[in-house]
Structure 1
Amino acid sequence: MDNKLTKIRRTFAAQLTAKHKLKLTIPNHDSSEATFELFLREMQQQLHKKLAKQNEQLLHESNGNSPLFIQKKQLQKDIEDFQLLEQRQDARAIQQLIERVEHMAMFNRKQDIGGIASSIQSSQLPNQPIVMSPIKLNSPLCSYRALCSELVERLNWPSEVFASEYDRCFCKTCYPLSMPNICQVNTGNKYPTIIPRNWMKFGLKVDGVQTKVHQIWDKWAVSYHGTVPSAALSMIKHRQICLPGDTLFDGTRLTIRLGHIPDQKAFFTSPTIRYAAQNHYATSIEFTSQIDKCVYTAKIVLRCRQMPDSFTVQGQTLNNSIQNDSDFCDLIPDDEIEWKTDKRGSVIFDGLCVHLKKVLTHENNFQQTTVHY
């Protein structure tokens, strides 16, 4: 693992150097450890100087959604992410960061960046640094992320439930079509993770003791549960799933939602967000953005970590597919698209996923219930 972290650390440093256009030369792969350490130290110093300069520029900026503010927030997160690799303490954060760095490296290779580096390296003498040309990476200025953040702020949830260091945007800009649709992060987990394309995931805090005891980040499967904002917050506060018949904190008794299968005292998830986000599960909400003054419909889906062998894999229980004679998801067959469990401690929530769709007017009529924000 130490060798892998060393490699990821170097790769991530090269990505940050290109992304933030630092005035640095990137050592080649066979440079000495001392050379790399000098490079990493200088990179961190330049990042901090750039952050200080942006903070100074933002002293007179009142718009929290301005491009400079978003750019500064991304830079700050990149610095914090690199520090996570240095400290090597948060296993969950490191695992997700490794996944992100490897995906970006794969994307860069597909863009022939590796070919550019090879051609430069071939003209260099051994152990000489390679001067990399500026690389066009994903822009840190993501308007979709800003819109989703505005919606989440409008929900007025307690800030204590969020873990912003695990936020991840999967829009077409931040997660291009050239990136994989499925990833298998851990060999101990037999269920692959299906990427929630065109969604924004906000990290949620989870219990550290529980994750260590059950090795959740290594062994538990990723799934999705569509719901409404009020129910999502209730589940997050309870720190576990609730089943029909349970009495909640506010004294209400949980019942089966209208239109769902009666007498099914179970909790349902799906390995694909496309199924979990169906209208039957995730009710649309509508809000008007103050950023661009447009009206959007949004859906809320909880991302889950689910204990293997604690659920039953079954077919879809909706009577209609997204399109006639087609599957809900082209990555998972309909007869394996739903997971059912009645074990309360077997599911935790580590992400709040948001999807936005622009509508033309306030007067649009929706077939599903619409809540205004």
Structure 2
Amino acid sequence: MSESGRSYYAYGRTWRGHPGTRHDTSFTSGLVREVRLAKHSRYKCEYQRRCARFRDSLGLQEDVFFPERDMCYCPSCHEERRDIEIYQRGNPTKPYVLPLGWSRFTLKVPLPQVKLPRGGTVAAFDSWQMCFHGTLRDNVKPIVETGGLRRPGDDISGGTLSQRNGHYNEEWKPEGFDTLQVFVSPSIRYSSKDAYSSPYTWRDRTGQMYKVRSAFQARIRPGSYSIGPTTLHHVRRDERIDPIYKNNEIEWSTKHVDAIMLYGLLIKIEPCS
């Protein structure tokens, strides 16, 4: 199915059980392998199967995913769907550029830990705008277990969220700039920069080494965030990061963590040279 139609009805829970229900995981290791092989076989694309193997290495619970809505944006799958690259989403609308080159593993909406205000899931898919949040491999599980994105200084599973080097922090920022916010972007190109989504070296079961990046696809509530310029170091004045979004509008920030609804884990894999 293309990205053109509304999809929030696919996330209904009446026929899938309560989102807080945990599946029985008391399998033998051999049965786990069989289940995973059967699960991966539904993917037509080898790229998505490889991304799924990496996702499985993260130790996430199966019941946070909604596999019927997984989507591969590799060149072959995108061409086969005859999909366009840019849509309009939200109210007011903003461009949504497909995350080409990535594979999306859809999360249940919302995650069990999250209660959406103001109309819930249907309202979010009707009017909230698309955005992305690049993150490190080691942060994926704490974010999912917490139920959403958090601000620097907030408690997450396993510790406290800290500020990373490479973009504005308390030691390097314009005077008066508040770094204790959640930062997202309408651009996957921007969200996959090293300062947000540093590549992780991973060996597939085939023995091949890959560089892997991870990010989240999300919806953000209109009016809840500020639009601003890049906060990254080392971005030249003449460097256009994304052809759709200008550098002075490529970073969105908010202190309202409940204004962001995660609905997809994105993975991008490239062979190590």
Calculate the TM-score normalised by the size of structure 1: 0.56
- Give the whole-Å Cα distance in 1 for the aligned partners of 2:35 and 2:67: 20
Q: Report the Cα offset of residue 324 of structure 1.
A: 8.6
Letter in 2 for 1:182: I
Give the distance between the partners of 1:244 and 1:185, measured in 2 at CA: 28
Partner of 1:122: none
Offset, 1:259:
3.7
Q: For 2:75, what is the secondary structure of its paired residue?
A: coil
User: Relative contact order, CA 8 A, sep 6+: which one is greater?
Assistant: 2
The aligned length equals 227
Instruction: Please name the residue that 1:78 is paired with.
Output: none
Structure 1 residues 202, 261: CA separation in 2 closer, same or farther (over 3 Å shift)?
same
Give the equivalent residue in structure 2 for 1:320: 234
Tell me the amino acid that sits aligned with residue 145 of structure 1. Answer: Q
Report which of the two structures shows the higher radius of gyration computed on alpha carbons. Answer: 1
Secondary structure (helix, strand or coil) at the match of 2:79 reads: coil
Secondary structure of 1:155 counterpart: coil
Give the alignment of 1:359-370 within 5 angstroms: 359-360=272-273
Match of 2:195 among 277, 280, 296: 280
1:147 Cα deviation (Å)?
0.8
Residue correspondence of structure 1 range 208-223 to structure 2 within 5 A: 210=116, 213-214=119-120, 215-223=123-131
> 1:260 — aligned with what?
167
The reply on whether 1:335 has 2:262 as its aligned counterpart is no
Q: Which of the numbers 139, 152, 156 marks the counterpart of 1:248?
A: 156
Return the alpha-carbon distance in structure 1 between the equivalents of residues 35 and 263 of structure 2: 29
The one-character-per-residue Cα deviations of 1:324-355 (angstroms, maximum 9, x if unpaired) are: 93311112111111101111211121000000
Pairing of 1:1-373 with structure 2 (within 5 A): 70=41, 73=42, 141-176=44-79, 179-185=83-89, 188-207=91-110, 210=116, 213-214=119-120, 215-250=123-158, 252-263=159-170, 264-290=179-205, 292-321=206-235, 325-360=238-273
How far 1:278 moved relative to its partner?
A: 0.2
State the alpha-carbon separation in 2 of the partners of residues 315 and 207 from structure 1: 29
CA 1:185–1:266 in structure 2 vs 1: closer, same or farther (change >3 Å)? closer
Secondary structure of 2:239's partner?
coil
Give SS of 1:293's match: coil
Could you list the runs of 5+ residues in structure 2 that have no partner in the other structure?
A: 6-33, 171-178
C-alpha separation in 2, matches of 1:351 and 1:238: 15
Taking only aligned residues, the RMSD between alpha carbons, in angstroms, comes to 2.7
Instruction: After TM superposition, give the deviation of residue 254 of structure 1 in Å.
Output: 2.6
Q: CA, structure 1 residues 150+212, in 2 after alignment: closer, same or farther (shift >3 Å)?
A: farther
Matched to 2:241, the amino acid is: F
List structure 1 runs of 4+ shifted beyond 3 angstroms: 62-66, 323-326
TM-score relative to the length of structure 2: 0.74
Deviation per CA, 1:223-242, whole angstroms, max 9, x where unpaired?
01111123222122222322
